Amino acid sequence: MTKLNSKIPEGPLTEKWSRYRRDVRLVNAANKKKLDIIVVGTGLAGAGASSALGELGYNVKNFCFQDSPRRAHSVAAQGGINAAKNYMNDGDSIYRLFLDMIKGGDYRAREANVYRAAEVSNAVIDHYTAQGVPFARDYGGTLDNRSFGGVQVSRTFYARGQTGQQCLLGAYSALNRQIKAGKVKMFPRREMLELVIVDGKARGIITRNLETGELERHSAHAVVLATGGYGTIYYLSTLAVNSNASAAWIAHKKGALFANPSFVQIHPTSVPQLNEYQAKLTLMSESLRNDGRIWVPAKKGDERLPGDIPDEERDYFLERRYPAFGNLVPRDVASRAAKERCDAGYGVGKTGLAVYLDFRDAINKQGKKAIEDKYGNLFEMYQVISGFNPYETPMMIYPAGHYTMGGLWVDYELMTTIPGLYAIGEANFSDHGANRLGACSLMQAAGDGYFILPNTISNYLADDIKRGKIATDTPEFDEAERSVKERIERLLAIEGTQTVTSFHKRLGRLMWDLCGMSRNEEDLKKALSLVREMEEEFWKDVTVPGSADQFNQELEKAGRVADFFELARLMIEDAMHRNESCGAHFREEKQTAEGEAMRDDKNFAYVAAWEYAGKGVPEKLHKEMLSFEEVEVKERSYK
């Protein structure tokens, strides 16, 4: 099987990217005008790519299901965006950022990609700053940095608690400039429902106009997916309610391999679930852990108010278990530790599924004003949601599904295993291994969109300069549109008794319980059969009101949930086969006596890339072996 050629350039790690760019084939300006590119998604990666490709002269068609590209879920990132500027003079460098990411990812990421992500990080900050992104500044007018979990330097650029929104508005403004210039055509309220492959190459997509229900054909010489992650598979997650896996999953079913689907990051600091109707969990930025201390009562079932529990009767469990990093351990470690305490019966709140994040000491030391300056908007948000004032009583937090390290397998050029189909940002698997460090997602998404994809895509398009427009009145497009129509009709025809959301909730709960923060073989086996049953039930008993030719939110959801069932099975399969604990993937069978993760480099130092083999047939596993030339593979310890 030659399918997995990661195309990593020769040469030492630090020179791979420059060598690649030196040798890459280019498309001249006159020919770029003849080439069309479809970009699906308008987050940091998608909007970035669209604007950069438009500037280069390609004809870009950009799609999003939201009513405006500025609403892509990158908007919700709070804490920051990393870059190796070393503005703080604390020993940072591109190499150090690379090293932190490799280690943070628990040695399950591809060295060359990670180094490149670190390499372009500085240009991302320069670009956003020039676009007018109002990053926090010092009194002298220069940019400020703060520290973030899992690392020992301060390299995180931030715009209060809204870094994602500010970066996205920057990306959106550049996109608007290209829309005005006529180089990007924007298609909002469109959902991609099929990928069209012509002669083995990605040549177009079928979209549904979400307002009119009309199916539309769009062709291009290359298709770029920047459609984000699939964390909403858990139903309750920190993602936007409409975030979904469908575009990536469609590509997977058309032949793109899906890598490490079970690597899902659970974020430690989210507001816990308050009621059973809740549709989403709100993230409280990781930056809160810079000053907040996490604890639970040392005594089981202690029902005193948190303020009445004296220090010696509190268990600051992160500080206890990880003295070197304390409350700043990476997300997977912090999440698991909180779950461990709650499972052991020490959790707080009505449900017992919460731990305290306490600012008492920070407020005493630094004053309320200092804390307000740093976290004011987050505290306000917490109070709006929970009704409690975090200046007076500790916040209650609990882990929630957040980010998916897994995604479409891509090579060094960010191309999937389907020629001409690219995946960028969270939609691909490439840079975060088994666990993502805080503030690295904006960095990677923007780097992919602005600086990597525009440099690699010409290598593929160079062959297409004489092809001319891709026609949409071909049998391939007919077939793709027919299959979309058929699926929609099938969903509408079920006319069962249960709502789409009720299925999504049940699936989410099941995945959270059996394939969430910690996993074991028995649970996973159980999960697999339960998902199968539930999926069957879905196709028999779901009810989708309305028709296909109208604005129909239930129909949108139904298609997404149907895809989640299929993805869930693959996630479980992947979690089952990876019989080791690494990063966010914790197998209960593989832990030390103290409950720390046990990685198995001998047997699992690879990327698991799955190939769709047809309906009802088990997916085929391909392994991309990971060799570490630059870094020494060590046990990941934050003690």
Partner 1 sequence: MKITLDIWRQKSRNEKGRFVRYELEEVSPEMSFLEMLDLLNTNLIKRGEDPVAFDHDCREGICGTCGMYVNGHPHGPVKSITTCHLSMREFKDGDTITVEPFRARSFPVIKDLVIDRMSLEHIQVAGGFISVKTGSAPEANTIPVPKKNADEAFDAASCIGCGACVAACKNASAMLFLSAKVSQMALLPHGKPEAKQRAREMVAAMDDMGFGRCSNTGACEAKCPKNIKITNIARLNREYYKAY
Catalytic residues: 331
Query: Cβ(592)–Cβ(583) under 8 Å?
Result: no
Least distance from partner 1 to the Cβ atom of residue 300, Å: 26
**Ranges within 287-316 binding partner 1 (CB under 8 A):** none
Least distance from partner 1 to the Cβ atom of residue 153, Å: 17
Report d(CA 179, CA 185) in Å as an integer: 6
Query: Cβ(620)–Cβ(91) under 8 Å?
Result: no
Closest CA to 568 of 230, 108, 227, 226: 230
**Ranges within 614-633 binding partner 1 (CB under 8 A):** none
Task: Supply the DSSP string of 539-585, one letter for each residue.
Answer: HHHEE--S-TTS--HHHHHHHHHHHHHHHHHHHHHHHHH--S-BTTB
Our CB check for partner 1 shows the closer of 66 and 262 to be 66
Our CB check for partner 1 shows the closer of 272 and 330 to be 272
Of 72-80, 303-311, 338-346, 525-533, which segment contacts partner 1 by CB under 8 A? 72-80
Rule CB under 8 A: say whether 139 interacts with partner 1.
yes
Our CB check for partner 1 shows the closer of 270 and 581 to be 270
Closest CA to 611 of 250, 248, 258: 258
Our CB check for partner 1 shows the closer of 125 and 626 to be 125
Rule CB under 8 A: say whether 132 interacts with partner 1.
yes
Burial pattern 228-267, b for ≥16 Cβ within 10 A else e, equals bbbbbbbbbbbbbeebbbbbbbbbbbbbbbbbbbbbbbbb
Rule CB under 8 A: say whether 70 interacts with partner 1.
yes
102: number of Cβ within 10 Å: 25
Our CB check for partner 1 shows the closer of 34 and 73 to be 73
Of 5-13, 68-76, 192-200, 591-599, which segment contacts partner 1 by CB under 8 A? 68-76
Rule CB under 8 A: say whether 68 interacts with partner 1.
yes
Query: In the stretch 147-166, what mask flags binding to partner 1 with x, by CB under 8 A?
Result: ------------xx-x-xxx
Least distance from partner 1 to the Cβ atom of residue 22, Å: 16
Binder to partner 1 among 3, 7, 33, 137 (CB under 8 A)?
137
Binder to partner 1 among 6, 31, 99, 177 (CB under 8 A)?
177
DSSP category for residue 415: B
Least distance from partner 1 to the Cβ atom of residue 544, Å: 9
Rule CB under 8 A: say whether 127 interacts with partner 1.
yes
**Ranges within 325-384 binding partner 1 (CB under 8 A):** 381, 384
Query: In the stretch 238-257, what mask flags binding to partner 1 with x, by CB under 8 A?
Result: --xxx---------------
Per the DSSP assignment, residues forming a β-bridge with 224 are 39, 422
Query: How far apart, in Å, are the Cα atoms of 630 and each of 14, 260, 265?
Result: 10, 23, 26
Our CB check for partner 1 shows the closer of 247 and 333 to be 247
CA 568-569-571 angle, 5° bins:
65
Of 92-100, 273-281, 362-370, 524-532, which segment contacts partner 1 by CB under 8 A? 273-281
Binder to partner 1 among 6, 31, 93, 131 (CB under 8 A)?
131
Binder to partner 1 among 17, 263, 412, 451 (CB under 8 A)?
451
Binder to partner 1 among 12, 91, 199, 275 (CB under 8 A)?
275
Burial tier of 618 (Cβ tally within 10 Å: 0-12, 13-18, 19+): exposed
Least distance from partner 1 to the Cβ atom of residue 233, Å: 17
Of 180-188, 292-300, 394-402, 522-530, which segment contacts partner 1 by CB under 8 A? 180-188
Rule CB under 8 A: say whether 142 interacts with partner 1.
yes
Rule CB under 8 A: say whether 134 interacts with partner 1.
yes
Binder to partner 1 among 200, 468, 546, 595 (CB under 8 A)?
546
Residue type, 505: K
Rule CB under 8 A: say whether 282 interacts with partner 1.
yes
Report d(CA 639, CA 239) in Å as an integer: 31
CA trace torsion 460, 461, 464, 468 (10° rounding): 150
Of 276-284, 529-537, 564-572, 578-586, which segment contacts partner 1 by CB under 8 A? 276-284
Our CB check for partner 1 shows the closer of 179 and 296 to be 179
Binder to partner 1 among 39, 75, 151, 484 (CB under 8 A)?
75
**Ranges within 205-234 binding partner 1 (CB under 8 A):** 211
Rule CB under 8 A: say whether 93 interacts with partner 1.
no
Report d(CA 594, CA 637) in Å as an integer: 13
Rule CB under 8 A: say whether 130 interacts with partner 1.
yes
Of 125-133, 408-416, 469-477, 483-491, which segment contacts partner 1 by CB under 8 A? 125-133
Binder to partner 1 among 148, 450, 610, 638 (CB under 8 A)?
450
Our CB check for partner 1 shows the closer of 31 and 131 to be 131
- Provide the terminal-to-terminal Cα distance of the chain, rounded to the nearest Å: 42
Least distance from partner 1 to the Cβ atom of residue 105, Å: 26
Our CB check for partner 1 shows the closer of 283 and 309 to be 283
Burial pattern 541-553, b for ≥16 Cβ within 10 A else e, equals ebbbeeebeeebe
Residue type, 606: Y
Least distance from partner 1 to the Cβ atom of residue 130, Å: 4
To which H or E segment does residue 205 belong? strand 201-209
Report d(CA 542, CA 520) in Å as an integer: 30
Rule CB under 8 A: say whether 173 interacts with partner 1.
yes
Report d(CA 537, CA 320) in Å as an integer: 46
Task: Supply the DSSP string of 489-546, one letter for each residue.
Answer: HHHHHH--SEEHHHHHHHHHHHHHHHSSSSB-HHHHHHHHHHHHHHHHHHHHHEE--S
Report d(CA 366, CA 544) in Å as an integer: 55
Our CB check for partner 1 shows the closer of 67 and 536 to be 67
- CA 383, 385, 387, 392 torsion-angle sign: negative
Main-chain phi, psi angles of 369, to 5 degrees: -60, -45
Pairing type for strands 222-225 and 36-40 reads parallel
Pairing type for strands 498-499 and 542-543 reads parallel
Query: Cβ(639)–Cβ(279) under 8 Å?
Result: no
Residue type, 441: S
Rule CB under 8 A: say whether 85 interacts with partner 1.
yes
**Ranges within 476-535 binding partner 1 (CB under 8 A):** 497, 499, 501-502
Least distance from partner 1 to the Cβ atom of residue 176, Å: 5
Least distance from partner 1 to the Cβ atom of residue 550, Å: 7
CA 624 to chain centroid: 21
Binder to partner 1 among 153, 174, 434, 443 (CB under 8 A)?
174
